[in-house]
Structures are given as C-alpha cells and as structure tokens.
Structure 1
C-alpha cells in the first residue's frame, strides 16, 4: 500500500498536542493511512521533527506552534490546513494535561490550567472546524478523553472533572452536528506510557514499570474510529491495557 492508495489518501487531519505521546503516535499512524497532517503543540522543534518523519512516509505535513487553549492557535492551525491542503476532514482533540492531586493540594491556578488544557482546547478547535465541516457536510471530530472521564477516581477530582466535561461536550456535539454528516466521538484510554503526568503524580520509574499502554497502541484505536464507513460512527470507545 502506497500513500496515494491508502484509505485516508487525500484527507487532511489536524492533531493537537502532537509533540509527544498519543498525539505524536496518532499523527504518524494517520500518515501511514495516507492522510496529510496539520500538527500543533507548543514545542516547535518537536513539531519540525514530527513533520519530517511524516513526510518520509510519503504524505505532507505542516505545523503551528502554540498553546491549544488559545483562540489564535486554533484559528491559525485550521487556516493552515485550508491554505496548504484546501480542506480539513479530521480533528483529533488530543491536547491535554494531567494533574493527580488531592483536592486540598490543588490550587485555583492548577484548576484553571487543567480545564484550559483539557476542555477549552477542544472547544476552540471544534468551534473553528465546525463551520467548515457543516459546509462540506462531512468531518470527524474526536476527543481523546480518558477512563477518568467515565468514573471518578480518588485523588484526581479536577482531572476527572475535565475529562467528564470532554465526554459531555462530545455527546452534545454529536447530537448537534450529526444531521450535517459530521461524526463526533470520544476515545477513553486507560493509562499510557508517556510524559503526560510526569511531575504531576507520576514518576519515570512508575511509568516504565507499569502495565500501561504504549501511545502507538492507543493511536491504532483512534485511527480505527477515523476509518469507519460514512454511515458508521463511534460515539465512544474505551481502550484498556491487559494488566
């Protein structure tokens, strides 16, 4: 299979939080399926490296470096997709942060930061993509939530709240946008081996010795949701490790 004959050939996908972990792995996995990519995150050098790896697979990639919780990052990333590829087909709202603390150890600033990273970012990218998707009567929006968005966990109240918010937002968007041919869903992974929670309740040793999934394994589930036929959508998918 070549890039030109792959299932997503000619499609354009946008991945937020693409500089590491699930975002990086998902961008690579989508490129393997033939998609052109717009990738965004705050670390420009990592995005340059990612784009080089994507183009080595035979597809095209551009990046926008910025905070996904800022309106300008969302609007400019989507404008970049139109300017370079003429259209946008898939938005993966993956940008986010973890903070595993008891309530009394969590500051107001940490609450605001977590809600911005995990919820506001998805709102912004969906808000700017939706008019394009409505006009073309197609599109896929996926939120990378968590099993922590399905059941509350002690010591993770604010993190769970942000992830529950993603699930509710995605369900509402599904009801709102489905009549326009737009698919909206949530992917809810269990633990993943990435830098996501380092210094915020997780250590390198904990991650290394755990049964948590590799980012590439979660990326395969995300791509699966993107590859469904036009009349099939996946509103919610839970992905767990075998540990």
Structure 2
C-alpha cells in the first residue's frame, strides 16, 4: 500500500541538522507540511525558513524529546500529524568505563525513551484516523554490537525492538498505522567522526542525501524495514553463528576495527 507524502503532515525530531534537516527538506519537496522539533530553536527555525523560502509549509518548535512533559505539551501545540519520524539521536564514542554517567543516561534518554514519549503523543490520533506511519531511525549498530558504542548500540537495539514490537501491535489491532524501522550503516554527517570502513564496497560510509531519500521512499511505499546497505542485513542472522566465528567475521569486515579512531561527534564533545 502506498502512502504519498503530498498533503500529509510530517513531524521530524532532531529536524534542525544532519539527516533530520534533509528529511525535512525532502518531505517538503514531496508536498508535505513539515513540523520540525529540535533542541536548538535556532537550528529548527533555520530549516523552517529554508522550506518557507522555496514555497513549502513548515513550523518549528524547540523541545527536548527526552522530557516527556515537554513532549506532551508541545504535541498539543503541534496538533495531529500523519507521519512521525523519530530521528533525534546522540552518540558519545567512548568505551563503557570512559563514558560519564551523564553521557550514558543522555544517550538512553534521547535514543530510546524519547521513542515512547514522542510516539505516544501522536499515536492515538493516527489510530483514530486509521492511517499514519511511525518511523524509528535505528542503526546497523542496532543489529550488531559495535566497539566503543556500548550505550549507543544498546539504545539502537532497543529502538529496533521498539519499532518491530509496535508494528506487530498495530497489525494485530488492524490500526491502519505502519511502523517502519530504518537501519543505516555509518553516515557521513560528522556524527561518526573518524570512522573509516575497511571494505567500502560492502560497507560504505553512506551519503546523508541517499539515506534521507531512501527513508522517504520507504515511507511512501509502506515498507516495514529499511536496512542500508543491503549487505548489513546479512550481519543480523550471522549473530546465530558461534560467537568465535561471528567475531572473526565482523573483525574481518572491519566492523569493529573501523572504530579505532572514532571520537564521537564534535558538538557532543563540546557540550559535555
């Protein structure tokens, strides 16, 4: 079943930068009314103005998606939407013992708990209208554990489980609402600064424009899963191999070796 975005209202968390900004611009180009939620009022308003400048329709709100009371209040101000894209995310880029308590808590709050608060704020109206899509931006790190990302990988595994369980729940209730989970490999947005892939033809650093376009295509086509690149899909069932063989496979592919120079996102380091 197709779900064209033209005429629909699309809410994007973390819409003021990175993939969120590109999703917002792309949705507007497809005729959607765009609602931008971002922690930074200036960033969200800048993207809103970009969309308005080319004749699109957009609004921007400053909200911390990890604050459930703020989410509820802003959702009332925003009004019903047709598509929720849970895109907001943070990463620390530290080994478990090197990360601060505050950084770990923030990762889980933004990457995992916020999925519940944001989705719950809009899901009832979607079900009432018997249409809508909830998008969860997970990660390849939500399929395979990755070094120097224990908190991030755990949060993205949880995100994948959230999206899959929600899909089953909605299908069982014949709610008319789709749940789509998106799992890209590393993206060249600066979030994973320093990452280098060993076999770029198998596991390339993805262009953010490509990821945004494919995600919007997946929403419109009614897909349930989008894993990029396709080879990453093979890593999930490979986890059923004996641990020694699985570790050898991922090491040969450089899944963990590539994290040797990973230092996290510059803005995260400055804000801690």
TM range (shorter): 0.7 to 0.9
Correspondence for 2:183 = 188
The reply to whether residue 134 of structure 1 matches residue 127 of structure 2 is yes
Q: Which of 226, 234, 242 is residue 223 of structure 2 equivalent to? A: 234
**Matches of 1:62 and 1:74 in 2, distance apart?**
16
Q: Partners of 2:11 and 2:54 in 1: how far apart?
A: 17
Give 2:40's aligned residue.
43
TM-score (norm 2): 0.76
**Conserved in 1, the CA contact under 8 Å of 2:9 and 2:83?**
yes
Task: Please report the RMSD computed on the Cα atoms of aligned residues, expressed in angstroms.
Answer: 2.2
Paired residues for 1:70-109 under 5 Å: 70-82=67-79, 87-109=80-102
Cα deviation for residue 75 of structure 1 reads 2.3
Deviation of 1:32 (Å): 0.8
The gaps in structure 2 that reach 5 residues or longer are: 232-272
Shift of 1:28: 0.5
**Alignment of 1:30 onto 2:23:** no
- Deviation per residue, 1:99-129 (Å, 9 max, x gap): 2222221232222110011011111110111
Residue-by-residue CA offset, 1:145-201 (whole Å, 9 max, x unaligned): 10000011122211110000000011111111221001001100111112324xxxx
Instruction: State how far apart, in whole Å, the 1-side matches of 2:17 and 2:59 are.
Output: 16
Q: How does 1:155-194 map to 2 (within 5 A)?
A: 155-178=148-171, 179-194=174-189
TM-score (norm 1): 0.84
Separation in 1 of the partners of 2:136 and 2:61?
Answer: 19
- How far the C-alpha of 1:241 sits from its partner, in A, is 9.2
Is 1:18 the counterpart of 2:11? The answer is no
Give the Cα–Cα distance (whole angstroms) in 2 for the partners of residues 125 and 27 of structure 1.
17
Separation in 1, partners of 2:164, 2:137: 13
Structure with larger Rg: 2
1:61 corresponding residue in structure 2: 58
Closer, same or farther in 2 for the Cα pair 1:225/1:81, shift >3 Å? farther
| CA drift at 1:206 | 6.8
- 1:192–1:241 CA distance, 2 compared to 1 (3 A): farther
Once the two structures are superposed, residues 1-55 of structure 1 have per-residue CA deviations (whole angstroms, 9 ceiling, x without a partner) of xxxxxx4221000000011111000000101110001001111112111111112
Contact 1:212-1:241 at 8 Å conserved across structures:
no
Say which SS state the counterpart of residue 24 (structure 1) adopts.
helix
